Amino acid sequence: MKKLIQALAAVLIVSFVLLYIVSGLNSSQGYTSGNTLTIFNWGDYIDADLVDKFEQETGIKVIYETFDSNEAMMTKIEQGGTAYDIAVPSEYAIEKMKEEDLLLPVDHSKIPNLKYIDQRFMDLPFDPGNEYSIPYFWGTVGILYNTDILGDKKIKSWHDLWDPELKNQILLIDGAREVMGMGLNSLHYSLNDKNKDHLIEAKEKLDSLTPNIKAIVGDEIRMLMENDEAGIGVVWSGTAQELMWEKDNLEYVLPEEGSNLWFDNMVIPKTAKNPEAAHQFMNFILDPENAAQNTEYVGYSTPNKEAMKYMDEETISDERFYPDEEMTGRLEVYENLGKRMLAYYNELFLEFKMHKK
């Protein structure tokens, strides 16, 4: 008994000493509250040199953490274990976070560089007036295909995927909205359709695609396409751009019927401890030269008009990654469907996955 108490006391003393040392170390390196900025971003989604540059320019220490899905990010912010000053959710997640009152409004007067953002990417339905979010990157969902495997066959539309010659050649992303959206688009319905008859029709259309589907996978799709494992992959534009930089036999196409257009924006969570630094960082990232550097590292499309002047002509004139207004007119942004409808989408997606060849 006595020994147990002694042991407990020893553990407590050691813990306190360690805590004291950690706080001492932190302050000697500048990690004190008021002087740090905690960023929560997708993995491999920023040029690390820019973070160093920001630290040098402002004297603010950056703590950088990453996540791999909007859902995981939201859960962590809701729990509030770590106080993040900046997070980078996608549009439907921003809508949801707004609803749940997890965000602080952004003060536009502190971000003069906001004027460089193309007006096309401002004032979008998920955040009217950009009250809570500032554009970071954007992209699309499209078809990546391997010209070595498909030969002369050209893919132009979702409809082309139903070609019986493409037996067992298609890889899909494991996402209900992406796959259901593809089914809806191929029938010329909106990918935010809430009509149950249309949804069931789309699901049946997808069922008839099963002979052509090789697998429904997650991030492995990158590796599988890289290894020429399948002729066609339905992927996000950034995945496509990254792979195409490495391999010459891959082509990316935005389907004629339309597809998904998505945005990742920077927001300030309600739990932020240093909103001042968060605004500074947003302004820093929107600086045209910085934005250009970041875009050339990441590979997604930049919403920064001025930044394009500093970028490779070839990259920004590529209509597959910077579609013109006519093409973007055919693209749709995911709307927040509400929990019930989203659950219904998922249910149909699950049934589709269970459909046997």
| Closest distance to another protein from the beta carbon of 212 (Å) | 13
Helix (H), strand (E) at residue 263: strand 261-269
Establish if 223 lies at the interface with another protein (CB under 8 A): yes
Q: Which segment (151-159, 257-265, 313-321, 341-349) binds another protein by CB under 8 A?
A: 341-349
Pairing of strands 232-236, 170-173: parallel
Question: What binding mask, one character per residue, do residues 187-206 give for another protein by CB under 8 A, x or -?
Answer: --------------------
Establish if 346 lies at the interface with another protein (CB under 8 A): yes
Establish if 48 lies at the interface with another protein (CB under 8 A): no
C-alpha–C-alpha distance, residues 347 and 126, integer Å: 25
How many angstroms separate the first and last alpha carbons of the chain? Answer: 66
Return phi, psi of residue 216, to 5°.
Answer: -115, 110
Establish if 80 lies at the interface with another protein (CB under 8 A): no
92 is in an annotated binding site: yes
Complex with another protein: residue 56 or 79, whichever CB lies closer: 79
Establish if 216 lies at the interface with another protein (CB under 8 A): yes
Q: Which residues pair with 40 in a beta bridge?
A: 65, 87
Residue 289, token pair as written in the block: 């030269």
Establish if 340 lies at the interface with another protein (CB under 8 A): yes
C-alpha–C-alpha distance, residues 223 and 65, integer Å: 24
Establish if 68 lies at the interface with another protein (CB under 8 A): no
| Binding residue for another protein, selected from 29, 33, 69, 208, defined by CB under 8 A | 69
CB within 8 Å of 288: residues ≥ 6 apart:
113, 116, 304, 306, 307, 309, 310
Residue 111, token pair as written in the block: 């971000």
| Binding residue for another protein, selected from 57, 99, 220, 289, defined by CB under 8 A | 220
| Binding residue for another protein, selected from 73, 86, 214, 279, defined by CB under 8 A | 214
Give the E-state strand segments of 96-157 in sequence order: 103-104, 133-146
Question: What binding mask, one character per residue, do residues 256-295 give for another protein by CB under 8 A, x or -?
Answer: ----------------------------------------
| Binding residue for another protein, selected from 1, 81, 128, 314, defined by CB under 8 A | 1
Task: Determine contact, residues 146/334, Cβ cutoff 8 Å.
Answer: no
| Cα distances (angstroms) measured from residue 115 to each of 139, 276, 328 | 21, 19, 21
Restricted to residues 159-188, the positions that interact with another protein (CB under 8 A) are 168, 171, 174, 176
Instruction: From 132, 41, 138, 134, select the one nearest 87 (Cα to Cα).
Output: 41
* Residue list, annotated binding site: 92
Binding residues for spermidine: 92
The residue ranges that bind another protein (CB under 8 A) are 1, 4, 69, 71-72, 168, 171, 174, 176, 214-218, 220, 223-224, 227-229, 339-340, 342-343, 346-347, 350-351, 353-354, 357
